[in-house]
Structure 1
Amino acid sequence: MELENLASVAGLIGEPARIKMLWALMDGKAYTATELALVAGVSPQSASMHLGKMVLADLLKVSNQGRHRYFSYARPEVAYAVEALSNLVPHQKQEIVPVSKDIPFEYCRTCYDHIAGRAGVMINERLFILGYLTEKDQRYEMTAKGEVFFKDFGIDTDSLLKQKRPFARPCLDWSERKPHLAGALAMVILKKMIAEDWMRKIHDSRTLMITAKGQSNLYDLLGVKI
C-alpha cells in the first residue's frame, strides 16, 4: 500500500462535511445530494463537490432513478472504516456504563447492513461460545457444527462463501468496544431476522427494535437474553 494513497483516502474521509455524509449512510440507505447537504450543513453546490470526490475515490457510488441521483457506499469496507474511526473518539469516563435497553440506539442498531450495539455483540459472542465460528487472521471461519446450524437456520452458506465479500469478520463496535459480526453472513442474518419479524427497523433511524418473538427465538436459538 502506498502511503500517499492512504493519506489521500484519510484526507477525503476526515473532512468534516464528508464524514457527516458518510456517517449518515451507515443506515444502509441511499440518499440524494440534497439530503446529504442538509445532514452535512453545507450548500447543495458544496455537497455535490464533496460527493463527486468520494465517488471518484470509490468510496461512494451513484444510482440514477428518474430525475434523482442516489448516493450510497461503493463497498462494505467503507462502512467498516467509518465504524472503526468512531472507535478512536475518546469516551468520557462517566459515559462508559453498561448499555441497557433504555438506550435503544446503542443497545441494538444497524451498522450498514448488519446488527450492532450490545445485542450485536452478544449474538457474536454466542456464535463463538457455541462453536459455530472460529477466528483466523482477523476473519471468522465457519465450523462443521456451524455449517449445520446455519443450514438449519435457513441460510445458504455455500452461496455466501462464493461471494467476493468476506464471509464473516469482526467489526469493532463503537459503543461496546467489542466486536460484532460483519460480512456476508451478518447481512443475511439481519435480513432474515427482519423478514421473520424478530427485529424491526425504526423509521428514519438506525435503531432496531427487538420484538417479543425475536427475544424468545434468540433465546431458543442461541441462549442469549436480549
Structure 2
Amino acid sequence: MKEGPDIAHIASLIGDPARANMLTALMAGKALTPSELALEAGITVQTVSSHLGKLEHGGLLRLRKQGRHKYVSLANDDVAHVLEALMGLAAGMGHLRTRTGPKNAALRQARVCYNHLAGDKATRLFDSMMERGFLSLSDESLTLTPAGTRFVQDFGIDLAALEAKRTPVCRECLDWSERRSHLAGSLGRAMLHRIEELGWATRDPKTRVVGFTPRGAVGLEDLISRR
C-alpha cells in the first residue's frame, strides 16, 4: 500500500534504542536538556544532537531555548499516548527491561504518564469512576456524566476552565504495567495537579515515580470509594 499515513517513518524514529530511551525519559512530563537526554540514552552529547534533530523534524519533540540553555519535551499529548500504548504492547508481549529493587514496584504503584497519573492507583481510580457512573464510554468517546461533574468539582477542579480548552477533557489511556485504562486528557492532568496541590503526593525528580504520603494514600482511597 503506497497511500495513507507513513507509519514506517514514525516507527523508525521511535525504534532506534537511543531515541526510544530519550522519548521514554520525557514521559515524566518534564523538559530535559540534551545533556540529560544523552545520559538517559547512554550516548555522547555530540551524538544526541543528530537524534534530537530527527525527532524534532519528525514532529515527536519540541525544542525550546531559554537563554543559553536548550530544553526538550514531547511535542504533544498524542505523542505521549502513542508511547504509552507501545509500552503496554511491549509489556504484554514480555519485552521488559530488567529492573531490580523497589523502583519497579514503585513505578507500578504510581507514576507520571506525561502529565497525568498512571499505575495501580490510577487504574483503580478510573475503574471506580466507571463503576460509579462518573464516566461514560460510548463509541470510544469518554465523557463525564452529571454525577461525574459533581464529583470532580467537589474535588476542587475547575471544570469550566478545562472545557474552555481545545484538548479533550476526558481521555482513556492504556496503562502499560496494569494493562487496564487510566484517565488522561485535561481532567487527568488536573486531577494529578490537585493531588499534588493537596500535598497528597510528590514526584521523584529523578524518576517517573509518584510517592504518596500516608495522608495522601488515605485521601486517594477515600476518593476511590466516595459516592
Q: Which residue of 2 aligns with 1:77?
A: 78
Tell me which amino acid in the other structure corresponds to 1:91.
G
More deviation in 169-178 or 102-111?
102-111
Q: Normalising by the residue count of structure 2, what TM-score does the alignment of the two structures yield? A: 0.89
Q: Distance in 2 between matches of 1:43 and 1:206?
A: 23
Q: Report the CA distance between 1:3 and its aligned residue.
A: 3.9
Q: Which residue of 2 aligns with 1:46?
A: 47
Q: Structure 2 unaligned runs (5+)?
A: none
Q: Normalising by the residue count of structure 1, what TM-score does the alignment of the two structures yield? A: 0.89
SS in 2 for 1:103: helix
Q: Which residue of 2 aligns with 1:130?
A: 132
Q: Please list the CA deviations of residues 64-100 of structure 1 after superposition, one character each: whole Å capped at 9, or x if unmatched.
A: 12211000011011111111111222228xx9xxxx9
Q: Structure 1 unaligned runs (5+)?
A: none
Superposed, which structure 2 residues align to 1:4-153 within 5 Å? Answer: 5-89=6-90, 90-91=93-94, 103-153=105-155
Q: Report the CA distance between 1:4 and its aligned residue.
A: 5.0
Question: Kindly tell me: are residues 187 and 170 of structure 1, through their superposed partners in 2, closer, same or farther at Cα, counting changes over 3 Å?
Answer: same
Count residues in correspondence.
218
Question: Kindly tell me: are residues 6 and 167 of structure 1, through their superposed partners in 2, closer, same or farther at Cα, counting changes over 3 Å?
Answer: same
Q: Which residue of 2 aligns with 1:174?
A: 176
Greater than 4 Å deviation, 4+ residue runs: none
Q: Report the CA distance between 1:223 and its aligned residue.
A: 1.3
Q: Please list the CA deviations of residues 115-141 of structure 1 after superposition, one character each: whole Å capped at 9, or x if unmatched.
A: 111111001111111111111232310
SS in 2 for 1:216: helix
Q: Report the CA distance between 1:143 and its aligned residue.
A: 0.3
Q: CA RMSD in A?
A: 2.2
- Asked whether the equivalents of residues 124 and 224 of structure 2 are also in contact (C-alpha less than 8 Å), the reply is no
SS in 1 for 2:199: coil
Q: Report the CA distance between 1:6 and its aligned residue.
A: 2.0
